[in-house]
Structure 1
């Protein structure tokens, strides 16, 4: 009988969280029995990985915790469940830990009852680990508990919010059997909140290197060819797309024939389009909107440079890894971008160039230097693919997660 892993996350599937789907699918491919529990389950067509989800029938093993809303129905079912001595026993223990009574606890216990003896629970995003931590503490689940931080779940804007995080994660840090994150940068950030009893293991989020394989390798620059540049990320402040547009404008004004595509949607769409119009870049910059993994791969096939423009936002949050840089390099596309958070851990001096955040001139100059040296570019393209296959494969990520864990 295969070992069971129960994945727990916030929203599933979510277009901007491809790493969760990739982790689940790779676990299935490795022979694990898998369940996915989300706070909210979205239609499969809202994912950028619809074909992958359908191929491995992931939605067939995905569910969300729900409880009755109507008062009489809640009371009737709660009484029925409490007649089960096991559920009653752990209900009382749950109440003791929470220091209050709620019927939601008995519905939660009933929901998780089938998964009590799974080999492991793997929670993506620490913010959804609260109830699982309590179930682990009271002994209701005997499974190993792994929690993976991804970024927003470790950042705070002031000392009061830091204290709130410390209070929120105190139990998690005591009961978890493994805490992981994607880069040393994020690890250091988590440790400002607290020190888990088991320490923190760094496991980079991997990509499907078999899927992200270019037809042409290494890539080469062809004289007088339109230079195609690509960025991927939600249209929000800390993705820094405004600086990418400005850097491209610098090159366009110098006579470079550039087509820059930005994949993603978000609240800054109107503002970014206004900037494109003001700079007269309508023929050079395109806001593509959301895209499937198939569309992203097709665009990367034609791309010469990947622009990673993430910055520190007003909350102090920065990119903790950036899976998109791995996808680009796997396709033989060198990366130029800002030194932000964990991004430096995703490239090498032979696969990309990073400059100080928000320095538009330096960003434009870095792109210019790479694009004007065809021999260097060819080497970077080749090194990029080799680097990602060595350090960021899904198979290696899965081994790092589970080989010595369950």
Structure 2
């Protein structure tokens, strides 16, 4: 490896249960010897669920709020001495810009080491600190930080994850499109097409899925699975992930005489409708809502399951799953997967080899293929083994981390 890089990683909220893939990526970068600092534009969470790499690499010790008020000392004397320190670090051009923030004729009393000065400092913060790379997660974060990024003279990378390529228009990204030297990563071909439709150039885009730590998501050599056939769902309880439809699939299996257990992990707006359906149809003994779980608990649940079910749909707003990293995590645990054909989901599965891809909303199709896996244990085991090899080759955090570094 050449000299270690100094990398600024920008996120909105950190750490976040639904964005464990960011922690995985940060862990790889730290483990590879690079200096990584995390900047949050919204919130540092104190109620996070434990994550092995979060503790191993002490990532929270290298996490900072990235708002101008958080850079400004609370006392006048503190602002004075901090201001002197900032001037010493600043270049000639930056210093001139900082002086503009002290214009008492324009800002009045606030101009004396007040908010205008620190707002200017905030806009130049990345350049002053001398990072080699700024990596912004989510395109809308990059738009809000455009002034910073336009002044940064080294490498800027923006990663689009899905919603950021759906909720916003070309007009929203018009300035970011102009940013010279910008490189963009996307998790799937599906997301790439969405980002291209926003006006970005194809040569800027690189497909780089979110990765799985296959040394952590690893099936034990000897796993005693329960006799009762267990199906697992993991994901936010939101319409596009179709948790209620997943329950209806299992309910149908139960009605035609199959004795199955369904474990559901996650939380969100669809949690109560799912719980209400379970109570209404007296399914409490067969379907279990566990809420959010740690990565360690998730591995244990996968080890005790026979099949992973993820029947995502296109929601009322036209959104659907851009990648669905949990599908790769399940395959890394040697679980055959039964998933829908929307968005980027099919790209992360070997159809009929590591799992089955079913037309979205086709209840009978999901039921039939889960039945097949129940009745063919040898084929189920072979699918699981193929899935793990597939993920190790194409989705392992180290493999993808090397691609990110390059």
Task: Specify if TM > 0.5.
Answer: yes
- 1:383: which partner in 2? 386
- 1:99: which partner in 2? none
- Are positions 1:372 and 2:375 aligned together? yes
Q: Provide the C-alpha distance between the structure 1 equivalents of 2:55 and 2:334, rounded to a whole number of angstroms.
A: 28
* Aligned-residue offset at 1:373: 1.5
Aligned to 1:60, the other structure's residue is in SS state helix
Aligned to 2:356, the other structure's residue is in SS state strand
Instruction: Note if contact 1:221-1:371 (Cα within 8 Å) is conserved in structure 2.
Output: no
2:134 to 121, 145, 157: 121
Provide TM-score, normalisation by structure 1.
0.86
Q: 1:137 to 1:221 in 2, by over 3 A?
A: closer
Which runs of structure 2 are paired with 1:150-189 in the superposition (5 Å)?
150-156=161-167, 162=169, 166-175=170-179, 176-189=181-194
Q: Provide the C-alpha distance between the structure 2 equivalents of 1:388 and 1:334, rounded to a whole number of angstroms.
A: 12
How far does the alpha carbon of each residue in 1:263-291 deviate from its partner, in whole angstroms, 9 at most, with x for none? Answer: 00112221111111122211111111010
Q: Provide the C-alpha distance between the structure 1 equivalents of 2:345 and 2:143, rounded to a whole number of angstroms.
A: 29
* Aligned-residue offset at 1:374: 1.9
Aligned to 2:338, the other structure's residue is in SS state strand
1:279 to 281, 295, 303: 281
- Are positions 1:59 and 2:60 aligned together? yes
Q: Provide the C-alpha distance between the structure 2 equivalents of 1:106 and 1:197, rounded to a whole number of angstroms.
A: 34
Q: Provide the C-alpha distance between the structure 1 equivalents of 2:377 and 2:121, rounded to a whole number of angstroms.
A: 63
How far does the alpha carbon of each residue in 1:349-395 deviate from its partner, in whole angstroms, 9 at most, with x for none? Answer: 20010111112121111111222112211210110111110110001
Aligned to 2:254, the other structure's residue is in SS state helix
- Are positions 1:145 and 2:147 aligned together? no
Q: 1:145 to 1:90 in 2, by over 3 A?
A: farther
Instruction: Note if contact 2:16-2:45 (Cα within 8 Å) is conserved in structure 1.
Output: no
Q: 1:37 to 1:259 in 2, by over 3 A?
A: same
Q: Provide the C-alpha distance between the structure 1 equivalents of 2:144 and 2:96, rounded to a whole number of angstroms.
A: 17
Q: Provide the C-alpha distance between the structure 1 equivalents of 2:99 and 2:315, rounded to a whole number of angstroms.
A: 44
Q: Provide the C-alpha distance between the structure 1 equivalents of 2:96 and 2:171, rounded to a whole number of angstroms.
A: 26
* Aligned-residue offset at 1:182: 0.4
How far does the alpha carbon of each residue in 1:235-279 deviate from its partner, in whole angstroms, 9 at most, with x for none? Answer: 111110111100001111122111111100112221111111122
- 2:110: which partner in 1? none
* Aligned-residue offset at 1:66: 3.2
Which runs of 5 or more residues in structure 2 are unaligned? 102-114
- Are positions 1:325 and 2:327 aligned together? yes
Instruction: Note if contact 2:49-2:293 (Cα within 8 Å) is conserved in structure 1.
Output: no
Q: 1:173 to 1:249 in 2, by over 3 A?
A: same
Provide TM-score, normalisation by structure 2.
0.86
- 2:143: which partner in 1? 130
Q: Provide the C-alpha distance between the structure 2 equivalents of 1:265 and 1:68, rounded to a whole number of angstroms.
A: 33
- 1:97: which partner in 2? none
Instruction: Note if contact 2:182-2:204 (Cα within 8 Å) is conserved in structure 1.
Output: no
Aligned to 1:316, the other structure's residue is in SS state coil
- Are positions 1:203 and 2:208 aligned together? yes
Instruction: Note if contact 1:65-1:111 (Cα within 8 Å) is conserved in structure 2.
Output: no
How far does the alpha carbon of each residue in 1:100-150 deviate from its partner, in whole angstroms, 9 at most, with x for none? Answer: xx93641413643543x3111111111111254323323xx2220000000
- 1:98: which partner in 2? none
Which runs of 5 or more residues in structure 1 are unaligned? 95-101
**Number of residue-to-residue matches in the alignment:** 383
Q: Provide the C-alpha distance between the structure 1 equivalents of 2:255 and 2:156, rounded to a whole number of angstroms.
A: 54
- 1:4: which partner in 2? 6
Instruction: Note if contact 2:225-2:305 (Cα within 8 Å) is conserved in structure 1.
Output: no
Which runs of structure 2 are paired with 1:345-356 in the superposition (5 Å)?
345-349=347-351, 350-356=353-359
Q: Provide the C-alpha distance between the structure 2 equivalents of 1:151 and 1:229, rounded to a whole number of angstroms.
A: 27
Q: 1:73 to 1:111 in 2, by over 3 A?
A: farther
- 1:87: which partner in 2? 94
Q: Provide the C-alpha distance between the structure 1 equivalents of 2:50 and 2:58, rounded to a whole number of angstroms.
A: 15
Aligned to 1:230, the other structure's residue is in SS state strand
Mean Cα displacement is larger for which, 197-206 or 303-312? 197-206
